[in-house]
Amino acid sequence: MAGSRIDKFSNIFARVEGMIRSGALKYEDKPIWFNVYKAFPPKVNPTYTRKPSENQQVVNILYPEDLVRAKYYAVYGSQKSQEVVDLTEKETPTQCQRFVDKYFELKKSGRVSDDDLFRQAASFMRAQGFKLESEVEKKEQKELHNMAQEMFPS
């Protein structure tokens, strides 16, 4: 098709329309998208020379439960041996999510300090059959295991 190949100064519609107006392109030979574009133009004019919006601020998103989550992972780490997360599974909550839900459930019920809430939630989870081992416990166990191996090499 005839026309300027300078793509940066104007959008495709304005350039084709200009050619039709000047007679360089017959209206009958217009591209098939022309009338569709005219009827449904894009919300933002697709030109290269436009300026970015002045407000470049993006708000940070942080929820109250994030603090609990962070503490959970700091104390217990990710329970790799226990949990394999299937990303296509939408219904089952993760172990951490169960913990957080329980935490806020307990928080609603009464005034307890955050540390107590954390402990209560953990003991609830353990009672439910989830294996929760803190990083410190894991380390101690590993050391014990190593010591045993050194003393009684099999």
Residues that bind another protein (CB under 8 A): 1, 3, 5-8, 11-12, 15-16, 21-22, 27, 31-33, 35-37, 39-40, 42-44, 46-48, 50, 52-53, 55-56, 58-62, 66, 87-88, 90
**How near is the Cβ of 5 to another protein at its closest, in Å?**
4
Query: Which is nearest to 138 in space by CA: 83, 84, 75?
Result: 75
DSSP code string of 72-85: HHHHH---TTT---
**Element spanning 138, H or E:** helix 135-151
Return the number of the residue (43 or 108) whose C-beta is nearest another protein.
43
**How near is the Cβ of 61 to another protein at its closest, in Å?**
4
Structural contact between residues 14 and 42, judged by C-beta atoms closer than 8 angstroms: no
**How near is the Cβ of 3 to another protein at its closest, in Å?**
6
Query: Which is nearest to 121 in space by CA: 142, 136, 100?
Result: 100
Return the number of the residue (37 or 130) whose C-beta is nearest another protein.
37
**How near is the Cβ of 38 to another protein at its closest, in Å?**
8
**How many Å from the N-terminal Cα to the C-terminal Cα in the chain?**
82
